[in-house]
Amino acid sequence: NMIKVAVVGGEGIGPEVTAQSRRVLDWFAAKRGAPMTLREAQYGLIPYLATGKVLPEDTAEAMDEADAILWGATGGPETKEVPAAARKAGSLLGLRSKYDLYANLRPIMASPALAASAPLKAEVLDGVDFVIIRELTSGIYFGEPRGIETLPDGQRRGFNTEQYTTNQIRRVARSAFELARTRRGKVCSVDKANVLETSVVWREEVIALHRDEFSDVELTHLYVDNAAMQIVREPRQFDVMVTGNIFGDILSDCAAMASGSLGMLPSASLGPVDRYGRRKALYEPVHGSAPDIAGRGIANPLGSILSVAMMLRLTLNRPDDADLLEKAVQTALASGARTADIAEAGTKKLSTVEMGDAVLSA
């Protein structure tokens, strides 16, 4: 029952932060007997220069066969050195849709050790612990028709199509209800059903699925504008929030401010459950390749390390190990470990590797 993990650092700070989460994975395999085999593979400019592909065969194979992919980042100035067609052939967006990774989970946890420097007040942040599930493979970002046209009077008109089908709504709502059962048993569905037909269908389908299969879970609904306000006003009220692609994109960046820094945020993107009950998953920090700090060894590896905690919980089904790792991160922070992005002026700044050391020793 070995779990196959593909480790793909990618570009920019991706390989730097992923090297630290790789150490954490090795620790859980060696010290806690987590049953996994790791296969490391390259992505981006370096393999492109060697093979003509950003996603060479070996990497594609490692990702195809993996139960879980630990992804670093892609993008930055490296992008310009690869022709657009070669980029597109192996793009992350393409991989997300190839594996049908429709449920994007972003946990929002306030870190007590960082409360003093967080942009929200400590009393608002105290105890915040919720997950936003954003639908990732449909909605207005994918809907047809879309385009830019010139009208008879010479004006230009841009247009996109918001759309959701019953199945697309039900499968992501199911992910939310199932996750809520492992947490505090509450789901808040976010839509704009007072204005949008898509949202009318969204709300009706969520209600129907809840009635048929998940009536033990508490279900509430919010309009997206109110949800944005509630996240800032009283984020403690939420356990699991589920919403469509564009609303989730915006709300999760807004909620991210509760955690302190972009460098601290993990994510998981989950595909459909197969007939053996397994589901493909891609774990990655929320941040990108951070070209402004790449190559200097100062990036915060905690977003990537906390993505490993999500992998332990969701793919390896080892909640105790996930808790242990999350606690180690909090212990390291409480003892004053800070990379540059979360350090207060005049205090000691750890390198990426030193932050990895701090978590491992905790």
The site for ligand NAI (CB under 6 A) is made up of 13, 17, 73-76, 79, 92, 262-263, 284, 287-293, 299-300, 303, 341
Residue 300, contacted partner among Mg ion, ligand NAI, none, CB below 5-8 A by kind:
ligand NAI
Q: What are the phi and psi torsion angles at 145 (to 5°)?
A: -75, 155
Q: Tell me, yes or no, if 249 is annotated catalytic.
A: yes
> What gap in Å lies between CA 132 and CA 110, rounded to an integer?
14
The secondary element (H helix, E strand) that includes residue 110 is none
Closest separation in Å from C-beta 256 to ligand NAI: 11
Q: Tell me, yes or no, if 58 is annotated catalytic.
A: no
Q: Tell me, yes or no, if 283 is annotated catalytic.
A: no
Residue 144, contacted partner among Mg ion, ligand NAI, none, CB below 5-8 A by kind:
none
Length of the chain in terms of residues written: 362
Closest separation in Å from C-beta 253 to Mg ion: 6
Q: Does the annotation flag 295 for ligand binding? A: yes
Binding residues among 238-267 for Mg ion as defined by CB under 5 A = 249
Burial of 156 (0-12, 13-18, 19+ CB in 10 A): exposed
- Residue placing its CB nearer to ligand NAI in the complex, 138 or 339: 339
Q: Does the annotation flag 68 for ligand binding? A: no
Residue 249, contacted partner among Mg ion, ligand NAI, none, CB below 5-8 A by kind:
Mg ion
- Residue placing its CB nearer to ligand NAI in the complex, 63 or 187: 63
Closest separation in Å from C-beta 169 to ligand NAI: 25
Q: Tell me, yes or no, if 100 is annotated catalytic.
A: no
Those residues whose C-beta lies under 8 Å from the C-beta of residue 131, and which sit 6 or more positions away, are 105, 106, 107, 108, 179, 183, 239, 240, 241
Strands (DSSP E) contained in the chain are 3-10, 36-41, 68-73, 103-109, 129-135, 147-150, 156-159, 186-191, 218-223, 240-243, 266-273, 279-285
Q: Tell me, yes or no, if 129 is annotated catalytic.
A: no
> What gap in Å lies between CA 183 and CA 181, rounded to an integer?
5
C-alpha distances in angstroms, 57 versus 43, 48, 52, 67, 99? Answer: 11, 11, 11, 18, 16
Active-site pick, 67, 249, 321, 341: 249
> What gap in Å lies between CA 173 and CA 175, rounded to an integer?
5
Q: Does the annotation flag 180 for ligand binding? A: no
Secondary structure (DSSP) of 334-350: HTT--BGGGPPTTS--B
Show the site string, 183-222: x = touches Mg ion by CB under 5 A, - = not: ----------------------------------------
**CB-closest chain residue to Mg ion:** 249
Q: Which residues are part of a known binding site for NAD(+)?
A: 288-300
Q: Which residues are part of a known binding site?
A: 96, 106, 134, 225, 249, 253, 288-300
Q: Which residues are part of a known binding site for Mg(2+)?
A: 225, 249, 253
Q: Which residues are catalytic?
A: 141, 192, 225, 249, 253
